[in-house]
Amino acid sequence: MNNQIENNFMYHAPKEGQAEKYDQLRSKAKELANLIDELCPNSREKSLATTKLEESVMWANASIARN
């Protein structure tokens, strides 16, 4: 059994203090998303920037949940 695979594909119930960390990350990412929306013209590149920001928050949250 590969412990990394087991950990990556299991449910991680929130532990004390984690919800606040998720909120902080989402709040800062939302600030940046609004700035991107304000400054960047509608384009494929803007869409990709927003998508990558969403991915970044997802991976940061996974880091908190998994470790």
**Domain layout of the chain by residue ranges:** 16-66
Helix (H) and strand (E) counts for the chain? 3, 0
Q: Taking the complete model, does pTM exceed 0.95, yes or no?
A: no
How large is the average pLDDT for residues 38-56? 98
How large is the average pLDDT for residues 26-40? 98
Q: 2-29, pLDDT tens digit by residue? A: 999 999 999 999 999 999 999 999 999 9
Query: Other C-beta atoms within 10 Å of 4: how many?
Result: 8
Residue 51's pLDDT band (cuts 50, 70, 90): very high
C-alpha 59/C-alpha 21 separation (Å) is 13
Calculate the alpha carbon distances from 51 to 14, 19, 32 in Å: 25, 22, 12
C-alpha 15/C-alpha 34 separation (Å) is 30
Residue 66's pLDDT band (cuts 50, 70, 90): very high
